[in-house]
Structure 1
Amino acid sequence: MSTTGSGDETTLARRELRQLLLKKRAEIPAEARLQAEAAIARNAFDALLALAGARGLQGLVVSAYLPIRGEPVLDALWQRLLEAGARLALPVVVEKAAPMVFREWDGAEPTGRDALGLAVPAADVRVTPEVLVIPCVGFDPAGWRLGYGGGYYDRTLERLVDKGAKSVGVGFELSALDLQPALHDIRLHFICSEARLIDEQSAHKS
């Protein structure tokens, strides 16, 4: 699959790709999904270890996510990170068309809601993530991500990358595609599917 062109043509192509990928994601059989999610969690943990480097995971602030619309369920990853001493956060939309903020998260079921009605920690304890684990509707092996079209992660990454934040995209292998980046897209440092772990160096050679 691919998307090329510019302006309305690219927007339309992305919308069609997004709907196709969401449909395919929803049709993954339950057993295959569980196996894929376990593999994605392992690959993402390896990516986080690589990004942490010599300092290790102790105290590393990682932005997690709560899955919606068939995104990979990575509870095993969040638990493993907490056990390794990492600190977790969840993204919070405080207003539409603005960068997100992050509230520290202990891994328990959150009871608050953000501006989009998504579950977030009720306590507004804000942190700045050093690494963001970001779900992908689609991904390109060159490091580009296709999301839902709202631009929340792009706006947020634009602000955080200047502070040294890193990013790990996660998605099912069926979401791989040839994606022409838009002007606002921010390239990811790692991308993890159940089949592979794409690091920054190999992605930037694509």
Structure 2
Amino acid sequence: MSERRTYASPPCMAAEVDPAYFDPLGTDPDQARDVARWRRAERLRLAAMRDALGQAGRAEVSERIGRHLSRALDARGIGPGVVLAGYWPIKGEPDLRPVLKTLHRAGVTIALPVVETRAAPLVFRRWTPETKMVRGDWNIPVPPPEADELAPDITLAPCLGWSADCYRLGWGGGYFDRTLAARDPRPVAIGIALTAANLPTIYPQPHDIPLDLIVTEDGVPAERMPAP
């Protein structure tokens, strides 16, 4: 009997899957464990800071981020034929679904990430405002298994924290890094974050892959790949 596949939206709940995660490829296991402990503490602090905004504050921040994201995407010539992978917001993440709907109406193909296999790269399934979502392992809405699987040209990544060199602090499961490492060609990766979540460093480990730019409610404070 084949193993039943299950579906879940990925990095959001990864810390609850493996809260003791540390980089197995690190050359110094003690240092890697110290970084893992520091990251766990920062995740709690940054999540609490985001929660403290309240519903109205998060709505305002989401609207501002959406405006800056739209400008950044326009600068990269987004339009019909481009596949953009968004995310379904949970745990106080900025809600960019209005932007995704606008892009869909403009002819951009929208996808959402799905975990098909634990500790493996994500897959991306097509989403439209009319898609009938199903519940994943953590009760998170995801496109159904019959939705088309797509290869994104651009992908958005919600960040708990970020650094000026475009490294992202997520929930800790490594799904997004695995996905960027596996994709060829690699999509343009855009971090979605709060300005106040800026960190001097996330202490990058061998598995960490930098994003191409960060978008916050105040603009684009970090960018590795300027728009053409």
- Given that residues 124 and 150 in structure 2 are in contact (C-alpha distance below 8 angstroms), is that contact kept between their aligned partners in structure 1? yes
1:67 lines up with 2:92 in the alignment? no
1:150 lines up with 2:173 in the alignment? yes
Return the offset for 1:157. 1.0
- Given that residues 213 and 225 in structure 2 are in contact (C-alpha distance below 8 angstroms), is that contact kept between their aligned partners in structure 1? no
Normalising to structure 2: TM-score of the pair? 0.79
**Offset from partner CA, 1:8-47 (integer Å, 9 cap, x none):** 1101000000110001111103333222111101111222
Relative to structure 1, the CA distance from residue 33 to residue 27 in structure 2 (aligned partners, 3 Å threshold; closer, same or farther) is: same
Return the offset for 1:110. 4.0
Aligned equivalent of 1:33: 58
Return the offset for 1:190. 1.2
Normalising to structure 1: TM-score of the pair? 0.87
Aligned equivalent of 2:118: 96
> Comparing 178-187 with 144-153, which one deviates more in the overlay?
178-187
1:16 lines up with 2:41 in the alignment? yes
Partner Cα distance (2:119, 2:138) in 1: 11
Aligned equivalent of 2:9: none
Q: Match of 1:170, as an amino acid? A: I
1:199 lines up with 2:223 in the alignment? yes
Aligned equivalent of 2:153: 130
Unpaired runs of 5+ residues, structure 1, are none
Partner Cα distance (1:110, 1:147) in 2: 27
Aligned equivalent of 2:32: 7
Return the offset for 1:101. 0.5
- Given that residues 47 and 168 in structure 1 are in contact (C-alpha distance below 8 angstroms), is that contact kept between their aligned partners in structure 2? no
Which structure has the highest helix share of the two? Answer: 1
Return the offset for 1:159. 1.2
Relative to structure 1, the CA distance from residue 68 to residue 96 in structure 2 (aligned partners, 3 Å threshold; closer, same or farther) is: same
1:190 lines up with 2:226 in the alignment? no
Partner Cα distance (1:20, 1:106) in 2: 34
Structure 1 stretches of at least 4 aligned residues deviating more than 6 Å after TM superposition: none
Q: Match of 1:119, as an amino acid? A: P
Partner Cα distance (1:143, 1:43) in 2: 17
> Comparing 130-139 with 111-120, which one deviates more in the overlay?
111-120
Partner Cα distance (1:85, 1:29) in 2: 33
Q: What secondary structure does 1:91 align onto?
A: strand
Quote the RMSD (CA, aligned, Å). Answer: 1.8
- Given that residues 180 and 186 in structure 2 are in contact (C-alpha distance below 8 angstroms), is that contact kept between their aligned partners in structure 1? no
Unpaired runs of 5+ residues, structure 2, are 1-29
